[in-house]
A and B are shown apart, each in its own frame.
Chain A
Amino acid sequence: AQSVSQHNHHVILSEAASLELGCNYSYGGTVNLFWYVQYPGQHLQLLLKYFSGDPLVKGIKGFEAEFIKSKFSFNLRKPSVQWSDTAEYFCAVKTGGGNKLTFGTGTQLKVEL
């Protein structure tokens, strides 16, 4: 069965610092990869997704992620975080048909002024 690991459970950064959140998955076949963000009290919103093609994916709000197949990784990056980026971030993988996602346990990001 596939699984998703997010290495950082809690991250605290100052505004303007750079962000990188790790995500590794375990599945040998074709995967679709996602990063979702959940602001306090809100539902999940899609930040970006990778299905195929360019492994460097750009998403909303200045986020990007790089798919490295050899490392089974899909790390999320942002060059300069803002206080409004405080949220929980989830990496997810979809394998096979349907819309069945396997999620990582999430990373709580707190950006301090």
Chain B
Amino acid sequence: NAGVTQTPKFQVLKTGQSMTLQCAQDMNHEYMSWYRQDPGMGLRLIHYSVGAGITDQGEVPNGYNVSRSTTEDFPLRLLSAAPSQTSVYFCASSRDTGNTIYFGEGSWLTVV
């Protein structure tokens, strides 16, 4: 049981490049979400999903796309990276409402 697995752990991108942050969970959780963590701002919700094929925007969705083709995977895509997207990204999952939310170990992204 690996929990919530994020890859890559560290990435440096040039402005304008695209990339995908991967998130996978092996707990059969319906709910998954992506947060970004910036100094002095806590964690802010980017996108979330309540099941395969269902996604919605969070607080800071601009510049990011998501899809949920399977229960296990919830990739986060940066279409054209900008320096403002330099951050630490956390994926989270939970079984359903009222259950503990589990976080991945984070992905450190730097856009230069």
A interface residues with partner B (beta carbon < 8 Å): 4, 9, 32, 34, 36, 42-46, 49, 51, 90, 92, 94, 97-106
Majority-rule SS of B interface residues: strand
Note all chain B residues with C-beta closer than 8 A to A106. Answer: 40, 42
Q: How many residues of B contact A (CB 8 A)?
A: 25
B interface residues with partner A (beta carbon < 8 Å): 31-33, 35, 40-45, 48, 50, 58, 90, 92-94, 97-98, 100-101, 103-106
Nearest CB in chain A: distance from B8 CB, A: 15
Note all chain B residues with C-beta closer than 8 A to A97. Answer: 50, 97
- Contact assessment for A99 and B90 in the assembled complex, using a CB-CB cutoff below 8 Å: no
Number of A-B contacts (CB under 8 A): 59
Majority-rule SS of A interface residues: strand
If the complex has contacts A97-B97, A98-B48, A99-B92, are A105 and B42 also in contact, measured as CB distance less than 8 A? Answer: yes
- Contact assessment for A49 and B100 in the assembled complex, using a CB-CB cutoff below 8 Å: yes
The answer for the CA separation of A29 and B50 in the assembled complex, in Å, is: 21
Note all chain A residues with C-beta closer than 8 A to B35. Answer: 101, 103
Note all chain B residues with C-beta closer than 8 A to A45. Answer: 103
Note all chain A residues with C-beta closer than 8 A to B97. Answer: 97-99
- Contact assessment for B41 and A105 in the assembled complex, using a CB-CB cutoff below 8 Å: yes
- Contact assessment for B45 and A43 in the assembled complex, using a CB-CB cutoff below 8 Å: no
- Of chain B, the residue at the smallest CB distance from A106 is B42
Our pick among B93, B94, B100, B105 for the contact of A43 (Cβ within 8 Å) is: B105
